[in-house]
Amino acid sequence: MYKRQQKALPIGEAPKISANYLGAVLVDYVGFRSSPYFNYLNDLKEELPVITRRFYKTREGSFTENLSDDEKALLNQYRNLQYYMLFEYKMD
C-alpha cells in the first residue's frame, strides 16, 4: 500500500506555487502514482508556477499581469479542463 519514501524534508523557504498545484505536489512528494490530471498540472506548473486572479508568475520567474499569447493559450486550456471536470465529466 504505502511505502515510505526516503526523501529529506525540505528546509528553508518554500517555493511559490498556486494552491491549485498542491494536490499534484503532495502526490509526487509522497511517491504515489500520479494521475494524468496531476501530470498535466505538474507540466503547467513548469510554465506558470503561480496563477491568481490578478497576476501570474512566468517560467522565467517574473510576476506579471499580462501573459504572452502562448501563456494565454495554456491558461485557457486549463480553464476549459476545469470547466469540463466540474460540469461535464461523469464518474461511473
Q: Which domain holds residue 55?
A: 19-88
- Report the C-alpha gap between 41 and 43 in whole angstroms: 5
Q: What angle do CA 50, 53, 56 make, to 5 degrees?
A: 30
Predicted local confidence at residue 76, as pLDDT:
96
Predicted local confidence at residue 6, as pLDDT:
62
- Report the C-alpha gap between 4 and 66 in whole angstroms: 42
| Percentage of the chain modeled with pLDDT above 70 | 87
Predicted local confidence at residue 41, as pLDDT:
95
Q: Would 29 be classed as within a structural domain?
A: yes
| Number of domains composing the chain | 1
Tell me the whole-structure pTM to 2 decimals.
0.76
C-alpha cell of residue 18: 498556486
Q: Would 4 be classed as within a structural domain?
A: no
**CA dihedral of residues 66, 70, 71, 75 (deg, nearest 10):** 120
Q: Would 71 be classed as within a structural domain?
A: yes
Three-class DSSP category at 25: helix
